[in-house]
Amino acid sequence: MHRSNELPTVWHERMLAFGGIGLAAICAQQLARRGEVFPSEHSDTLIHSLLETDPENTLAVYGSIQALQPALRVLLGQLNGQGAKDVEQTRYVVGILNLERHLMKSPKALHALGRGLTQIKRQRDEFDFDHHRIIEHLGQLYSDIISPLGPRIQVHGKPECLKRPEVQHHIRAMLLAGIRSAVLWRQLGGKRRQIIFSRKRLLQAIEQLLNA
């Protein structure tokens, strides 16, 4: 990763984490509209972020900067005013951030979520559960732990997609990954006011990540 003398590495790390939130919004939108994530690697990146329970650093949560590039490009366009506004994706991001705040206020829910993710990781690693079952279990974890915490994120799309149970599970798994990224973003010192008052630094960090 290119490091600028003007920016501490933490700004890059915050933008990686926020890119994870944005990627979750993109994937949820695609699933609701098309019934699938394209390319599927975007979904794989988010599943990896949920089950990487002991990462060496922020980048290890997602595997690579390239995995987050689609979300970083969207975020760059939103911040510099040159990209098309996507109200729906923005609403998903705001909903994810709100649910993260509710989660952090509930030690019981945090503990249950950590225990659940550890169990699902074990199912994948030791019992070789297939990808679809992992997504189903992650979606159920969202329903059991996250949904009761606060206002639900209303996902809009094609009824023929949204009525399919596997799509419902997948959307919830993507939103859960978004919340995981939101937790990481907060842990790295991310705050909403930075989007307004530190826009120049955010833009520099994103541009450097995209050029890394």
pLDDT averaged per 10 residues, the chain (length 212): 53 97 98 97 97 93 95 94 90 98 98 97 89 96 97 96 98 99 97 90 95 87
Residue 204 belongs to a domain: yes
Residue 3 belongs to a domain: no
Contact criterion met (CB below 8 Å) for 71 and 23: yes
The pLDDT of residue 85: 84
Q: How many domains, the chain?
A: 1
Specify the CATH number for the domain of residue 135: 1.10.3890.10
The pLDDT of residue 84: 82
| CA gap 67, 180 in Å, rounded | 16
| CA gap 90, 148 in Å, rounded | 22
Residue 1 belongs to a domain: no
Q: Which domain holds residue 98?
A: 9-210
Question: How far apart are the two ends of the chain, measured CA to CA in Å?
Answer: 5
Residue 2 belongs to a domain: no
Residue 137 belongs to a domain: yes
DSSP, collapsed to helix, strand or coil, labels residue 6 as coil
Residue 4 belongs to a domain: no
Residue 20 belongs to a domain: yes
The pLDDT of residue 195: 87
